[in-house]
């Protein structure tokens, strides 16, 4: 659990190493919306549209 700046930095350094960089293939995923009824799969947009990913939370 991230409880302070130190644990936040540790988490970010750990996972940033494996995060895709420019030129890398983006990891595919499938997620549902807040209602749990509508899903999206990143690869469904290949050869169709570019995709902007926006990660965030409420706090």
Partner 1 sequence: MRGSVSLTDIYAKYHEQVKFIPIYIREAHPVDGWWFGGNLLTKKLMKTFAPKVAMDVHDPQTMDERRQVAGTCEASLSYGVRTYVDVMDDAVNKAYAGWPTRLYLIDTDGVVVYAAGLGPYDFHPSKLEKAIENYL
Q: Quote the tokens at residue 6.
A: 């130190």
Do residues 32 and 38 touch, judged by C-beta distance below 8 A?
A: yes
Q: Does 10 bind partner 1 (CB under 8 A)?
A: no
Site for partner 1 in 30-49 (CB under 8 A): 31-36, 38-40, 42-43, 45-49
Q: How far is the CB of 55 from partner 1 (least distance, A)?
A: 3
Length reported for the chain: 59
CA dist 41 and 45 (Å) reads: 8
- For 40, phi and psi rounded to 5 degrees? -140, 140
Q: Does 27 bind partner 1 (CB under 8 A)?
A: yes
Name the site residues for partner 1 (rule: CB under 8 A). Answer: 1-5, 7-8, 11-12, 15-16, 18-29, 31-36, 38-40, 42-43, 45-59
């Amino acid at each position: 659990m991230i409880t302070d700046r130190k644990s936040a930095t540790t988490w970010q350094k750990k996972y940033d190493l494996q995060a895709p960089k420019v030129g890398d293939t983006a990891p595919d995923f499938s997620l549902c919306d807040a209602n749990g009824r509508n899903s999206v799969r990143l690869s469904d947009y290949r050869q169709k549209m570019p995709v902007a990913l926006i990660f965030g939370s409420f706090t």
